[in-house]
Structure 1
Amino acid sequence: MKTINKLILIALAILTYSCEDILEEDISDDTVQIISPINNAVIESNVASFKWNTLKGADKYRIQVYESDQVLILDSLTTKTSITLPLSSGKYVWRVRGENYAYESVYSFPSNFSTSIPNDLTNQQVILSSPDNEKFLNFIAVTLNWQALKNATSYSVKVVNTATSQEVYSKTDLTTTAVTLDLTALADGNYEWRLKAKNTDSETKQYSARKFNIDTTPPNQPKNTSPADNSTQTANTSVAYTWSIATDNGNAKSPISYIVEFASDADFNTIIQTQNSNTATLQQSFSATGVYYWRVRAVDEAGNIGTNSAGFKFTVN
């Protein structure tokens, strides 16, 4: 009996705390050590690189950056131990702490720093605006946009096919902050665009770079698998609708999601319900008895829409 009572007490103690709390290391009294920028640092650039040491037991880090008047301009959670932020000339304060599922460390002591943007572009970076990094697009007339860099007089841009390393576009002495690519060389594939700025005395030491993907091929047509055509279901019972789809063989494989439609007629003129799914399955139930039809089509992240599957009939009793 004593043994049973002990086991019960142990079980109750375990239930008092979540598994995550038991497994996670308590970092409540620890502090992240910053590397840069150190207190009172002066950064002669339009970007600041924040770095800190790894904290044992932390899964991620929360970094906060304030303007000198205590206005919060960044509150970011990252698994890395560094982050880069574009900044205007001014005075700032930053701090960072470690976090895991159950605990948070003490914030590092606030560190003051200032930025100034010199005429020398060497240590500066051009801030790219669009398209977003790793964006999937279904057209070749891609417009590249970036922010104007103070003291820069012109820009150079080039586009590289990342699979072949072939440079497919190059243009120098641009005085605008945008350029549109409309090249037959931009077939379906994965690309990286790189941009530099210069003036009469200097140029940025590194290219600013982002990737984009061109996918103009619609997804394959799905095939309904279950419930089978002409099946019978019970009202108010959840049923798994599943389908298959052939593997995309294109050069750029956009992530695929699905649109599932339910209709009261075989031609889908009267669609009674539309559901979205990120996987090739969907749980659905019907409360009203009757005859229904279902079909599915695939949509990729580039915006291409595939062909609907053949409609399957089912009866709800």
Structure 2
Amino acid sequence: MKTINKIIIVLLAVFMSSCEDILEKDISNSSVQATYPLNGAVIQSNVVNFQWNKMDGAKTYRVQVFDMNQSLIAEKESEDTHLEQELPSGHYQWRVRAENFAYQSQYTFPIAFSTEISEDLTNQSVILSSPDIDAYTNLTALTLSWQSLQAATHYVVEVINTTTGQSVYSNTNQTTTIVQLNNVALSAEGVYQWKVQAVNSDNDTQTQYSTRKFSIDRVNPNQPQNVAPANNATLTVNQQITFSWTIPQDSGTVQSPISYVLQFSDNVNFTNVTQQFDVSGTTLQQTFTNPGTYYWRVKAKDKAGNEGVYSGGYKFVLN
């Protein structure tokens, strides 16, 4: 009977490990239908919006762009059925395939197209470079940058604290592609939106505004509180232990995403840290093989670069 039970357990394990593959649709013999650009298209813009039809069973799509020397110059994934890519004037080919966790479709046959960037900015876009989309920072100064447009005579730049609605920087005749924001502009915590528009005053054309947001957060995360195992707990070696903790709500204007640093030590002062883990949530499972007395503590850090203080060390004994 025990032998039969073991066989059943093994079969269940194999079934569960391959369950994801079974549930995924086999798309390996299918092909995505590309819709834009098509063969021979000439695009009057510095940005190409690649588009294709949705495929049943696809989780993501992979787009590749080649120059006329067949060199791969861009490769990106998208969960949508479109993807934007900046390209200088020239001749190109692109292709797309669908993917899921178990399979990938055939690539479309390479599609040839070209881009021509004119003096007319109407269909062009400003490509923002830094900071990243939805960045978090605790800095008192920040550099905004974007890629230049050949036909632009100047740029219009504005930065708004969306938390207060206040414009903290504005320049309608920016001639460089870099703006330095100082501690006066960024004195307050909050979510900031920055936007840039390119203008050609010679032919009175301009792009649409390109926008991004970043958040200023200068409040350190609160001190976590150890929950389990309880202080002075007695536990067993070679058995999985779940360490858990809580943390009070951040009191700052911006609540940056928080992660944790969990430390183990063989002494209460943590002068010898035996193990350290970066943890995204408020639990960690760990198994110990050596008996002895140990201590654990945890601190929080946020995406803006702020760090809190460690919780008090909890003692546990392994037998």
Q: Which TM-score bucket, shorter chain as reference?
A: 0.7 to 0.9
Q: 1:29: how far off? A: 4.1
In the other structure, the counterpart of 1:284 is: 286
Deviates more, 1:240-249 or 1:81-90: 240-249
Letter in 1 for 2:134: E
Which residue is equivalent to 1:5? none
Does structure 2 retain, via aligned residues, the 8 Å contact 1:93–1:111? Answer: yes
Aligned counterparts of 1:257 and 1:296: Cα–Cα separation in 2: 10
- Residue by residue over 1:109-166, the C-alpha shift from the partner in whole angstroms, topping out at 9 and shown as x without a partner, is 3211111221222221121111110111012312101122212232221112334544
Of 249, 252, 274, which residue of structure 2 is paired with 1:247? 249
Q: CA deviation at 1:233?
A: 2.4
Q: What is the CA deviation profile of residues 218-240 of structure 1, one whole-angstrom value per residue up to 9, with x for unaligned ones?
A: 11110011111122223333321
Q: Is the 8 A contact 1:65 1:95 kept in 2?
A: yes
- 1:294 corresponds to which residue? 296
Q: 2:37 — aligned with what?
A: 37
2:272 is the alignment partner of 1:270: yes
Stretches (4+) displaced over 6 A: none
Residue identity matched to 1:55: M
**1:57 correspondence with 2:63:** no
CA RMSD in angstroms, aligned pairs only: 2.5
Q: Structure 2 length normalisation: TM-score?
A: 0.87
The residue that corresponds to 2:167 in the other structure is 167
Counterpart of 1:191 in structure 2 is 192
C-alpha distance in 2, partners of 1:24/1:279? 29
Structure 2: runs of 5+ lacking an equivalent: 1-10
Q: Per-residue displacement from partner, 1:148-206 (whole Å, max 9, x unpaired)?
A: 22122322211123345443321222222211112545322212210112232234321
> By how many angstroms is 1:262 displaced?
1.8
Q: Which residue of 2 aligns with 1:116?
A: 116
Among all aligned residue pairs of Structure 1 and Structure 2, give the percentage whose two residues are the same amino acid.
50
1:25 to partner: Cα distance: 3.5
Aligned to 2:8: none
Q: Residue 125 of structure 2 corresponds to which residue in structure 1? A: 125
* Counterpart for residue 208 of structure 2: 206
Matching of residues 17-36 of structure 1 within 5 Å: 18-36=18-36
Larger CA deviation: 247-256 vs 99-108 = 99-108
Aligned residues: 307
Report what 2:156 is aligned to. Answer: 156
Match of residue 179 from structure 1:
179
1:1-150 equivalent positions in 2, closer than 5 A: 18-150=18-150
- TM norm structure 1: 0.88
Unpaired segments ≥5 residues, structure 1 = 1-10
Q: Which moved more, 1:46-55 or 1:24-33?
A: 24-33
Compared CA separation, residues 225 and 24, structure 1 to 2 (3 A) = closer
Single out whichever of 24-33 and 94-103 deviates more from structure 2.
24-33
Pick closer, same or farther for the CA change 1:105–1:276 going to 2, 3 Å.
closer
The code of the aligned residue for 1:48 comes to: V
